[in-house]
Structure 1
Amino acid sequence: MDVIVTPTPRLRGDIQALSSKNYTTRYLLAAALADGTSTIYYPAHSEDSDAMRRCVRDLGAVLEEDGEKIVITGFGGKPKDVRELDVGNAGAVLRFLMAIASLCPNVTFVNRYPESLGKRPHDDLIDALEQMGVEIDHNGGKLPITIRGGKPRSGRIRVSGSVSSQYLSALLFLTPLLEGDSEIEVVGDLKSKVVVGQTLEVLEQAGIVIEASEDLMRYRVPGGQSYAAKTYTVQGDYPGSAAVLAAAAVTESDVTIRGLVENSKQGERAIIDVLRMMEVPLTHHNAVVNVRGNGKLKAVEFDGDTATDAVLAMVAAAVFAEGTSRFYNVENLRYKECDRITDYLNELRKAGADVEERQSEIIVHGKPEGVEGGVEIDAHYDHRVIMALTVVGLRARRPIVIRDAHHVAKSYPIYFDHLRALGAQVEWVKVES
């Protein structure tokens, strides 16, 4: 379905932040890998977290859920022998489970989204798993991928972190379960170190011992460990909230979002700092953020590597800032559901924004007077692009249509419900077949 975003000068209201997708998927996996029963309070509901629910159930975990919590009886280090796993369009779920599937004799990950996840490369993780004696059939590093494992070897493992930190996180979930000790060395660069910190935090909560170097480039993982059954509470989601906060920043607003803890390890917490740098009036106390936007913003320069999933929302806010903004060290945006630099900026230009790209930079020449709009734009099946383009539509002079906006459900199924609750004029439109 498409969405029509009609210019909306004012937003008002109070919402509860969505639960964190990143923490939910990690807690689900840690609970599934435990012997015993774990409880996760306030888990996220999105296509990504639902894909992890579905797959760990296929691998042998038992899940019971009500409106507040999910109770999981894990399969420990012995997943069920399954032939196929369907991760939908969830890249992180695919990569985490490619590692866990190496404990199974023969698993094929199917390609349900050839125009999105099906285009993304996984060569670096494939190479690391092959070092561990796992045989893998693949389509040039892409789906469909068949893992022929059963007994991956511990030892010295080298993995590249230059495209994604998810490959490293996948190995960190797997290696504690192996018989012997492992040493993991990250070669090249390591993107999104903050997200690796989230993985290490969850593993520590699950009773797993890992020795990490200060720069997060080397790890010693004792083998023969077991995941402990635990109780987890999922914190509010900064990546999704970033778009709502950006929307409040570019309009006349009085918007409150609850559940965003100040000391979160989510790198996207930086949206608060960036909006402050843009001189957006806001407060952040006791996990509550209040934005009293006046539509006036200043340009910023920001290293986006630690806040990957908030950069597009930051860019959307910068479209209306006074001056030229620069977001650098963001090349890994090119390897997401779409090329979040080229594809996103092409759509911003259609709406009237003045933007430039470099290989690893986004440059925004702000237009405080607003943009023209009045166009149909393509979201490229990407939830982050959909959310960020909506922010731009709120300050356009004429409505914009975002095609295939239903893909926002990948991470934030009630995004448009939340915006409407704040007064945004957004309307679903069925596409004629």
Structure 2
Amino acid sequence: MRPGGLTCTAQRRNERGMTHAPSSSARPLRVVRATAPLTGTLRVPGDKSISHRALMFASLARGETRISGLLEGEDVLCTAAAMRALGADAVREGAGCWRVSGPGIGQLREPDTVLDMGNSGTAARLLSGILASHGMTSVMTGDASLRRRPMKRVMDPLAQTGATFLAREGGRLPMAIRGLADPHPLDYRLPVASAQVKSAVLLAGLNAAGQTRVEEPVATRDHTENMLRHFGATVTVTSTPQGGRVIVLEGRPDLVARDIVVPGDPSSAAFPIVAALLVPGSDIVIEGVGLNPLRTGLFTTLRDMGAQLEISGERVEGGEPVGDLHVRASALHGVTVPAERAPSMIDEYPILAVAAAQAAGVSRFCGVEELRVKESDRLAATVALLEANGVQTRVEGDDLMVFGTAGAVPGGGLVQTHMDHRLAMSASVLGLVAQKPVAIDDTAFIDTSFPGYLDLMNTLGAGFSA
């Protein structure tokens, strides 16, 4: 293998037709309180989790897959570049529309350059499962944020396939993987609920003879299982008496290309939803949002808090439930969110904390330890975001408590985002209702998951101005 070739940033420029390198400078934002309600109808970008998986599975299927609604954020474009480096043909044919075909299970080629996964822990961990189960040597890296995040929790189970890993202390990127062409099937019980680890193990099992079995203590998002079935794999899921699930995959299936429609990302929809709930008089509709029950814990929690959030037009697209959301401004109150709900809303806790800050009473989010290993230590960063703007919090073990202000968030603070897109967007929503302006140190990396976020929010009347 050799270093060099197109970096992920260069690949992203090519996909978007850019002729000049993007600025490396930060894009700070100062957000002032909204002076009018948010109104309008919008669509949020395609689901990031499903977009990553669509590119990977299409590259392992026989034939040509057409994907519509693909999220074209920087993270997903890095996944497209990685699959090309492994021998797939992934071509953009229009906005969100891609044509993908690949060499198939067991036939990927050794990349001749380092695979740059950008900011995406999901892509890096899932792709580890594919790389560990192919007879090749590969190296993955990412941006500064991704290089700080631990990969050991996927390295440990994947090493049981016979693959070998070499990484920095703590299992951090860059990471070299020497995979096997004939990997061992795995029987693995997750110590902590994680859709990423579960998916990495199942992806490794695609090229293993026999059955791969994964037991999870709590049900986590099941996009991998749904997409495996969509492409023709045999996957069975049973519930355990303790409330978990056992997933069994029959190895070496004949995956056959099938078209995919990527629904709107519920994690992205969370930001305009909470903004509309908090800004007085707001009334918006978000069309075509994914409603997978293992992803909609935020919607349940907001309703528990008193949110006027209605779902209509429910349908199934590409094996995933989809619907339209009608959101109106609401007076929210504090709630206790049980730990078992955390996997269905783990990415939404920062914006939920913003909703809790504006609500009346105390909210307690139980069992949120997974936040410590996200793009940043999201637990510490969420606490810092709120306290910098006059909102009292408390961390007790793995629980986060937010003391609501009943609509009187002081604001006036500077939010350090630590290159975390969800923190930046959460801070922008807080600024719309805070009494004093909220400053955000950088919003440049919001494009990793929500391209055009600031512009889209401005169409509703947010009034964001750099």
| Same-fold status (TM-score > 0.5) | yes
- Is 2:73–2:447's contact at 8 Å kept on the other side of the alignment? yes
**1:31 aligned residue:** 58
After TM superposition, the structure 1 = structure 2 runs for residues 129-278 of structure 1, keeping only pairs within 5 Å, are: 129-140=158-169, 141-158=171-188, 160-162=190-192, 164-178=194-208, 180-186=209-215, 190=217, 193-195=219-221, 197-215=222-240, 217-252=245-280, 253-261=282-290, 264-265=291-292, 267-278=294-305
SS of corresponding position for 1:75: coil
In structure 2, the residue matched to 1:396 is: 434
8 Å contact kept, 2:185–2:205: no
Per-residue deviation at 1:33?
Answer: 0.6
SS in 1 for 2:435: strand
Alpha-carbon distance in 1 for matches of 2:186, 2:299: 40
Q: In structure 1, how many angstroms separate the alpha carbons of the residues matched to 2:407 and 2:96?
A: 44
Deviation of 1:185 after TM superposition, in Å, equals: 4.1
Check conservation: 1:208, 1:227, Cα contact below 8 A: yes
- Is the 8 Å Cα contact of residues 430 and 438 (structure 2) preserved in structure 1? no
**Structure with the larger RCO, 1 or 2 (CA within 8 Å, 6+ apart):** 1
Q: Report SS of the residue matched to 1:166.
A: helix
Q: Which amino acid aligns with 2:386?
A: L
CA contact (8 A) 1:319 1:365 kept: yes
Structure 2 residue 332 is the aligned partner of structure 1 residue 297: yes
> Which amino acid in the other structure matches residue 231 of structure 2?
A
**1:274 Cα offset (Å):** 2.1
* Residues 253-276 of structure 1 deviation map (CA, whole Å, 9 limit, x = unaligned): 011111125xx2153323322222
Q: Structure 2: any 5+ residue segments left out of the alignment?
A: 1-26, 314-322
2:6 alignment partner in structure 1: none
Q: Quick one: which of 69, 74, 83 aligns to 1:47?
A: 74
Match of 1:121 in 2: 150
Q: Which runs of 5+ in 1 are unaligned?
A: 429-433
CA distance in 2 between partners of 1:63 and 1:153 (Å): 26
Letter in 2 for 1:324: V
Alpha-carbon offset, residue 56 of structure 1: 0.6
User: 1:203-232, CA deviations, whole angstroms, 9 ceiling, x for partnerless residues?
Assistant: 110111123332455343322312111111
| Offset at residue 355 of structure 1 (A) | 1.3
Give the conservation status (yes or no) of the 8 Å contact 2:72–2:96. Answer: no
Secondary structure of 2:296's partner?
A: helix
Residues 1:313 and 2:338 aligned together:
no
Q: Which whole-Å deviations, capped at 9, do the CAs of 1:237-287 have from their partners, x for residues lacking one?
A: 1001111101111111011111125xx215332332222222222322112
Letter in 1 for 2:261: T
Give, in angstroms, the shift of residue 68 of structure 1.
4.8
Query: Which residue among 83, 87, 92 is the counterpart of 2:122?
Result: 92
Instruction: Give 1:57's aligned amino acid.
Output: R
Of 101, 106, 130, which aligns to 2:137?
106
Q: Does 1:356 align with 2:394?
A: yes
> What fraction of aligned residue pairs are identical, expressed as a percent?
27
- Deviation (angstroms), 1:317: 0.5
SS at match of 1:259: strand
1:363 counterpart SS class: strand
Q: Distance in 2 between matches of 1:289 and 1:316?
A: 20
Give the Cα–Cα distance (whole angstroms) in 1 for the partners of residues 422 and 110 of structure 2: 35
SS of 1:109 mapped into structure 2 = strand
* 1:281 partner letter: Q
Letter in 2 for 1:20: D
Q: Distance in 2 between matches of 1:108 and 1:194?
A: 28
Using a 3 Å threshold, how does the CA distance of structure 1 residues 414 and 117 change in structure 2: closer, same or farther? same
- CA shift for structure 1 position 154: 2.3
Task: After TM superposition, give the deviation of residue 90 of structure 1 in Å.
Answer: 0.7
| Contact 1:238/1:269, CA 8 A, preserved across alignment | yes
SS of residue in 2 equivalent to 1:409: helix
Structure 1 pair 341–68 and aligned structure 2 pair: CA distance change class (3 A)? closer
Pair 175,26 (structure 1): closer, same or farther in 2 beyond 3 Å = same
Aligned equivalents of 1:266, 1:31: Cα separation in 2: 24
1:316 aligned counterpart, secondary structure: helix
Matches within 5 A, 1:313-352: 313-352=351-390
Corresponding residue number in structure 2 for 1:431: none
Deviation at 1:32, TM superposition (A): 0.6
Do the aligned partners of 2:276 and 2:327 also contact (CA within 8 Å) in 1? Answer: yes
- Given residue 326 of structure 2, which amino acid in structure 1 is its aligned partner? N
Counterpart mapping for 1:4-83 below 5 A: 4-9=30-35, 10-65=37-92, 66-77=94-105, 78-83=107-112
Q: CA RMSD in A?
A: 1.8
Once residues 127 and 298 of structure 2 are traced to their aligned partners in structure 1, the CA distance between those partners, rounded to angstroms, is 30
Matched residue SS, 2:354? helix
Does the aligned pair in 2 maintain the 1:317–1:391 contact within 8 Å? Answer: no
| TM-score computed with the length of structure 1 as normaliser | 0.92
Rounded Cα–Cα distance in structure 2 between residues aligned with 1:404 and 1:11: 24
**Cα distance in 1, alignment partners of residues 354 and 186 from structure 2:** 43
One-letter code aligned to 2:122: A
1-side partners of 2:250 and 2:325: how far apart?
41
**Distance across 2 between alignment mates of 1:293 and 1:206:** 41
Tell me how far apart the structure 2 counterparts of residues 36 and 82 of structure 1 sit (CA, whole Å): 22
Name the structure 1 match of 2:403. 365
Aligned counterparts of 2:212 and 2:259: Cα–Cα separation in 1: 29
Alpha-carbon distance between aligned partners in 1 of 2:409 and 2:153, rounded to the nearest angstrom: 41
